[in-house]
Amino acid sequence: MTDLTGTRIAILSTDGFEQSELETPLEKLRGMGATVDVVAPGGVESIRGWDEDDWGDAVPVDVDLAEAGAGEYDALVLPGGQINPDVLRTEEAALALIRAVHAAGKPVAAICHAPWLLIEAGLAEGRRMTSYTSIRTDLRNAGAEVVDEVVTDGNIVTARNPDDLDAFVDAIARALTGAGRAAA
């Protein structure tokens, strides 16, 4: 198992995240020794997931988005779900954090519908990326080359859906340790 001791990761989310797409990376990355903060806008104490066809469980928020800075983190994880990334892509502070982490050359990882955030942040053009099937046209229209696998392109990691969670977390760990990182 990869040792991420000393690594600090932010998971940026709000209500309506796909339950497994936040909880699995949170648990697995912490299990590798990383410090992982759930970051959310609005000064809330917790956010609530979406689990298949109804509201899921609440997850405690560690850091308010207004207080999160790219310099504090070694990577940024963006869980999907339809609601969460759609809401966050209207939050300028969320887009600013995504852009700043990317500009610092740190891994930005997005799964399912979360590549909407990468599109909105202006980071999709010229990249090899994937997403949930329903937003692949959005990726193409933003100038990305869409593939059907977990993919790392430079410091951006993307995955399709919850079936990819193990490979997604492995790709994040590889990006953090420098192994398997494609040229930007």
Structure tokens at 64: 């308010």
SS (H, E, C) 18-71: EHHHHHHHHHHHHHCCCEEEEEECCCCCEEEEEECCEEEEEEECCEEHHHCCHH
Q: Decide: 168 and 25 in contact? Cβ < 8 Å.
A: yes
Out of 28, 89, 102, 113, which one is annotated catalytic? 113
Residue showing tokens 């949170």: 26
**What phi and psi values does residue 52 have, to the nearest 5 degrees?**
65, -80
Please say if 102 is a catalytic residue: no
Q: Which active-site residues does the annotation give? A: 113
